[in-house]
Homo-oligomer: A and B are copies of this chain.
Amino acid sequence: MSTVSIPASIPSVAEDCEQLHKAFEGWGTNEALIISILAHRNAAQRKIIRETYAATYGEDLLKSLDKELSSDFERSVLLWTLDPAERDAQLAHEALRKGNVGHYVLAEIACTRSPHELFLVRQAYHARFKRSVEEDVAYSITGKERQLLVLLLTAFRYDGAEVNMNLANSEAKILHKCVSDKEYENEDLIRILTTRSKAQLSATLNHFNDQVGNPINKDLKADPNDPYLTLLRAVIKCLTCPEKYFAKVLRLAINRLGTDEEALTRVVVTRADVDMKNIKEEYYRRNSVPLDKAIRGDTSGDYERMLIALIGGEDA
C-alpha cells in the first residue's frame, strides 16, 4: 500500500507546471511549493507533468530541479520525479561502482520489482546507457556474486499463484542438502533461487522451515560477515518478505553514526507508492518507534520534509 497522499481534486497539469516554474523563479527557490506538488502526485501524474513542463518551458523538469536544488533534497526530488523504470535503471547503473553495497541494490531491484517491472527497467537501461544491464553487471562484477546477480536480473519469473507442492517439498530437500554441505554456490541452489516464481519459492522455503525446524536464512548465517552469504540472505528476504527487508535497510540507514542518506532516499522514493505502508508497520513492529519519528530525528530541512511527505507523515 502506498503512503503518497494525492489530493481528491488536483490542479490541472498546466497549473502544476506553472506553479513548479514559479517555484524556480526569483531570488530563492520555493522548496515547499515543489514538495507540495511533486510529493503528492503518482507516477503517471508525474510523468505527464514532466512531459507538459518540457513542452511548455523547453527544458526538462529534471534539469530545472537539478539547477535549483542541492544535496540530499535534490537527490530525493530527482529520483522521485523520474519514471520508476528509469529510476531503477539509474540506481542499477550507479550500483555498479559501489562494490558490495551496490550488490544489494542490484539484488533489491531484481527481486522486489514484479517480473514485468524488471523488464521495463532493462528496457530503460538500454535506452539510457546503450548497453544491457546484465552486460554491465557481468563485466563489472566478478567472483561468485557475478553469476547470482546476472541470473537474478535477467530472470522473468512466472508470476502466477500456482504452486506445485511436490516440487516445493523436493526442492526444500535440495536446499537443505546444499546448506548442510555448505555448498552455497551449488547450481541447484542458484537455479531454485533465480528461476522459481515467488509463490513457488515461498512454498519451498516454508517446506524447508518445516523439515529443518528453522528458516533457511538462519543456516545462511554460518559466517555472518561473509558478503556472499549476506547477499544470499538479502535475496531471499527480497523475494519472500520485501517489507522486512526494506524495514531493515531503513533501520541500518538510520541507526548508525551518520545517516546513510543514499539508502534512506532510495528506499523511500522507490517504495513510497508501492508498499511503504507495510514497511512502516514492519518498522514499528521491529523497532517500537514510528518510521516518521525515526526519520525526523535523523534528517532536517527540505530533505526531511520531502521524505515525511512521501511516507505520509502528519505534516505531509
- Chain A residues packing against B (C-beta within 8 Å): 119, 122-123, 126, 130-132, 134-135, 138-139, 146-147, 150-151, 154-160, 162, 187, 191, 194-197
* The 6 A-B residue pairs with the shortest CB-CB distance in the complex, in nearest-first order: A154-B154, A135-B195, A138-B191, A122-B156, A132-B158, A138-B195
Q: What is the interface of chain A mostly: helix, strand, loop, or mixed? A: helix
Contact B195 A158 (CB under 8 A): no
22 contacts between A and B (CB under 8 A): A119-B119, A122-B156, A123-B156, A126-B156, A126-B158, A130-B158, A130-B160, A131-B197, A132-B155, A132-B158, A134-B154, A134-B155, A135-B195, A135-B196, A138-B194, A139-B191, A146-B187, A147-B187, A150-B151, A150-B195, A151-B154, A154-B156
- Docked Cα-Cα span, A160 to B187, in Å, equals 33
Give the distance in Å from the alpha carbon of A78 to the alpha carbon of B151 in the complex: 34
Contacts of A131 in B (CB 8 A): 158, 197
Query: Closest residue of chain B to A167, judged by CB?
Result: B139
Q: Closest Cβ of chain B: how far from A248's Cβ, in Å?
A: 28
Min CB gap A155→B, angstroms? 7
Smallest CB separation, A186 vs chain B (Å): 13
Given known contacts A130-B158, A154-B154, what 16 new A-B pairs fall within 8 Å (CB)? A119-B156, A123-B156, A132-B158, A134-B155, A134-B156, A134-B195, A135-B157, A135-B158, A135-B196, A135-B197, A138-B191, A138-B194, A138-B195, A139-B195, A150-B195, A151-B154
CA distance A135 to B119 in the complex (A): 17
* A64 CA to B196 CA, complexed, in Å: 35
Chain B residue, CB-CB nearest to A162: B130
Are A195 and B132 within 8 A (Cβ)? yes
Residues of B within 8 A of A160 (CB): 126, 130
Shortest CB–CB separation between residue A195 and chain B, in angstroms?
A: 4
Give the CA-CA distance A197 to B136 in the complex, in Å. 12
Residues of B within 8 A of A123 (CB): 156
Residues on B with C-beta less than 8 A from A194 are 138
CB of A167, distance to nearest CB on chain B (Å): 9
